[in-house]
Amino acid sequence: MSAASSKQKTNVATLKDALRQYWGYNDFLPLQEEAMSCVMAGQDSVVVLPTGGGKSLCFQAPAVCLDGLALVVSPLISLMKDQVDTLRSCGVPAAFINSTLSEPEKREIADQIRRRELKLVYVAPERLLSEQTLNFFGTAGISLIAIDEAHCISAWGHDFRPEYRGLRVLKQRFPGVGIHAYTATASEQVRQDIAEQLGLNQPRMLVGGFDRPNLSYRIRRASGKFQQICEVLERHRGESGIVYCISRKEVDKTAAGLAGLGFRTAPYHAGMTDVDRRKNQDAFIGDQVDVIVATVAFGMGIDKPNVRFVVHAGMPKSLEHYQQESGRAGRDGLEAECTLLFGAGDIVTWRRMLDDSEPSAREGALRSLEAMHDFCTSVACRHRAIVEYFGQELDGDNCGACDVCLGELDLVDD
């Protein structure tokens, strides 16, 4: 056995021990072993694992196995808190640095980093890229750099964020440290752009399967939308589900209407206070409410396996968003229902909202919107359309789990 393969075998055994000790898992999910091995070897990587594929573990498990501090770039405060809370509950010393912390709390975390007491620290890109922060982490003994929601760096992606562009400097500031980009949704073009924008060195591209055969997809023309939502909830009364709305106003109206009919619901959108959002999210995760009615602000990093249905009360703005949001259903592998209520005015609403975005992002967003519109109006297998959009193929002629293949559409001659 060569020295390299012997080291690889040792690394895999070490990772399995960590999975058992901290998370209680006996083995890897698909692609996790390959992704974690890249981190252990310090080889740059771009990892695309659809929702529910165990993406976070791909950098968290190696972080506890390697000497030093793992630096995790994350765009959302709520996502940071959820992941750090989960890590601490597993016995992994972790922290986040963001605007919710007091000055004494920030100083205490800085002291913990100096004392080499933490294994992972989460930080937002704009905070990380300040000269003071880069200098501080330059002396912290960084073991790896993980960039979560990495599609945000690409103007071709579905959620471009200009502050992510500056992350290219990490390759120069931390020479010799492996940089690993993670996302749940990225087409081939976006994957290549992520690697290029970050200046990665011959990165390994690891892409999981995009098909979720346990999900049934249905697209309905919106007609009496509230009643259509109620019909789905009646089929799943007492079960966990998510209803996505395009606007905050629609979230509040829908949540109140459902509550008036006796459904255990709570709203979630960016217009609410952090305290109220957190309270409603925790109530949903803890099964105190069955249904969360939300804008797309809800769900990133949420690990709730028993979501039995997702309703979109309007067309999402991209297939990437749809695949990610509908993918929050059925993470336990059991059957779940995904219903999209599509109205002719949805695309007009999104175009109007995109008018405020900067030109560099608008072109890609409009193209994504058109692809989503084509998906909604087509009569091709929904499972096949999704996987082909992401550059993969679907075996078989009939998925048996969408309105088209189940013969639920009333087709007329073109």
Lowest-confidence region among 220-224, 273-277, 320-324, 360-364:
360-364
Q: Mean pLDDT, to the nearest integer, of 181-199?
A: 89
Query: What pLDDT band is residue 411 in, cutting at 50, 70 and 90?
Result: low
Question: Would you say the C-alpha torsion 224, 228, 234, 240 has a positive or negative sign?
Answer: negative
Q: Mean pLDDT, to the nearest integer, of 38-52?
A: 91
- Both tokens of 95, joined, read 């922290």
| 293-316 pLDDT tens trace | 998 767 655 678 899 999 999 999
318 Cβ neighbours under 8 A, 6+ residues apart: 158, 365, 368, 369, 371, 372
- Both tokens of 63, joined, read 């972080």
Q: Distance (Å, rounded) from C-alpha 223 to C-alpha 141?
A: 58
Cross-sheet strand order for the sheet of 291-294: 215-221, 336-342, 307-312, 240-244, 291-294, 265-268
- State the Cα angle at 283 between 278 and 286, rounded to 5°: 120
DSSP track, 242-307: EEE-SSHHHHHHHHHHHHHTT--EEEE-TTS-HHHHHHHHHHHHTTSSSEEEE-TTS-TT---TTE
Q: Mean pLDDT, to the nearest integer, of 114-143?
A: 93
Is residue 166 a contact partner of residue 304, using CB atoms and an 8 Å limit? no
Q: What is the pLDDT of residue 412?
A: 54
Lowest-confidence region among 127-141, 149-163, 228-242:
149-163
Q: What is the pLDDT of residue 397?
A: 82
User: Would you give the DSSP letter of residue 402?
Assistant: B
Q: Distance (Å, rounded) from C-alpha 205 to C-alpha 193?
A: 12
Output Rg (C-alpha) for the chain, integer angstroms: 22
- Both tokens of 104, joined, read 């004494």
Q: Are strands 45-48 and 120-123 parallel, antiparallel or unpaired?
A: unpaired
Is residue 384 a contact partner of residue 332, using CB atoms and an 8 Å limit? no
Q: Distance (Å, rounded) from C-alpha 230 to C-alpha 237?
A: 10
Give me the phi and psi of 376, to 5 degrees please.
-65, -35
Lowest-confidence region among 93-97, 124-128, 260-264, 354-358:
354-358
164-170: which pairs have CB atoms within 8 A and are 24 or more residues apart? 164/75, 164/125, 164/197, 165/197, 166/125, 166/129, 167/73, 167/125, 167/128, 167/129, 167/197, 167/198, 168/197, 168/198, 168/199, 169/129, 169/134, 170/145, 170/198
Q: Distance (Å, rounded) from C-alpha 29 to C-alpha 40?
A: 17
Q: Mean pLDDT, to the nearest integer, of 113-131?
A: 93
Q: Mean pLDDT, to the nearest integer, of 333-340?
A: 95
Q: Distance (Å, rounded) from C-alpha 93 to C-alpha 370?
A: 45
